[in-house]
Amino acid sequence: MGFSLNNKAFLLSGMVATAALLTACGDKDVAAKVNGAPIYEAEINERMTELPANLVQGREDDVRRQLLEGLVQQAVIQQEAKKLNIDESDEFETAMAQAEQQIKARLVMKAKVDAAVTNEAVAAAYEANKQRLTFPAVKARHILVATEKEARDLIAIANPTNFASLATEKSIGPSKDQGGDLGWFRKEAMIPAFADVAFATPAGQVASTPVQTQFGWHVVLVEDKNDAYAPPLEAVQEQIRQQLSQEVMAGVMRDMRTSANVDYVDATLAPATQENQPTPAAGQ
């Protein structure tokens, strides 16, 4: 059984891309060879760029080794598939046809979402729903130290004016370079003991008692409070974008299905509608 024209074009485009990569890379750029077939550094580099930076930073060599091993496994499978003439089997052609349908469906939805879920649409949705996004919040700074005595000594001298400089000088926490700034946060975002003190302390005051957590002892300055704090657009735009995307996809599918003229040869397979629902018997 031969390939369809679309399947052949798909495979041909992959061969052209591979040939271009081979032409661009010399033997010196080969990271490994699998039964003589090269795997190029460029392939690893390309996959590195697709990973979130925070997952790669500090462990680049380990990540590269894992990516290379994945490429080696792919090459082994591809070579075995060639030996078994997998691409000539009926199962392969069926799988290719299914994959083609899935790719088309994904790209249709992506095109519709990209057209509808613009930055302007996200900003408009944010403004329309800002009130619903609000929550009680506190804006605070803290100084983290190792002992209760250090914490109480700091409470004795700390005030809103000198707190940031004391945090930079004395804190052992990761926020020390920001003067202990924790920004705005909801109560559920913090360790309960810390949150209880932060939300109980009046705005503009240093908490009168230190807070102990598994990290050490905290001195807390509450800078501001807001019972209806609205997070900035930057903090929630991805959440809004995902929600809008889901709504667009559901709407697109509904509209396409409604506008399509579908003739059911077997009427029993037609979806149930109000018109063809069975009439309830009396008393039901």
Residues 97 and 34 in one domain: yes
Q: Is residue 243 part of a domain?
A: yes
Residue 283, pLDDT > 70, answer no
Residues 127 and 237 in one domain: yes
Q: Is residue 200 part of a domain?
A: yes
Residues 139 and 211 in one domain: yes
Q: Is residue 60 part of a domain?
A: yes
**What's the CATH number where 175 sits?**
3.10.50.40
Q: Is residue 100 part of a domain?
A: yes
Q: Is residue 259 part of a domain?
A: no
Residues 142 and 121 in one domain: no
Residues 122 and 182 in one domain: no
Residues 122 and 74 in one domain: no
Helical residues (DSSP H) of 25-118, grouped into ranges:
41-49, 53-56, 60-83, 90-116
Residues 89 and 100 in one domain: yes
Q: Is residue 282 part of a domain?
A: no
DSSP string, 26-51: -GGGEEEEETTEEEEHHHHHHHHHTS
Model-level pTM greater than 0.85? no
Q: What is the mean pLDDT of the chain?
A: 88
Residue 281's pLDDT is what?
54
- Of 180, 183, 161, the C-alpha closest to 169 is 180
Least confident of 24-33, 116-125, 244-253: 24-33
Query: Which pLDDT tens digit goes with each residue over 184-242?
Result: 999 999 999 999 999 999 999 999 999 999 999 999 999 999 999 999 999 999 999 99
CB 70, CB 31: distance < 8 Å: no
Domain of residue 48 covers 5-107
Residues 52 and 144 in one domain: no
**What's the CATH number where 101 sits?**
1.10.4030
How many domains, in total, are found in the chain?
3
Q: Is residue 198 part of a domain?
A: yes
Instruction: Report the amino acid identity of residue 146.
Output: A
Cα–Cα dist 218/246, whole Å: 42
Residues 141 and 216 in one domain: yes
Residue 16, pLDDT > 50, answer no
Query: Which pLDDT tens digit goes with each residue over 130-159?
Result: 999 999 999 999 999 999 999 999 999 999
Q: Is residue 261 part of a domain?
A: no
Residues 42 and 60 in one domain: yes
Query: Which pLDDT tens digit goes with each residue over 31-80?
Result: 999 999 999 999 999 999 998 888 888 899 999 999 999 999 999 999 99
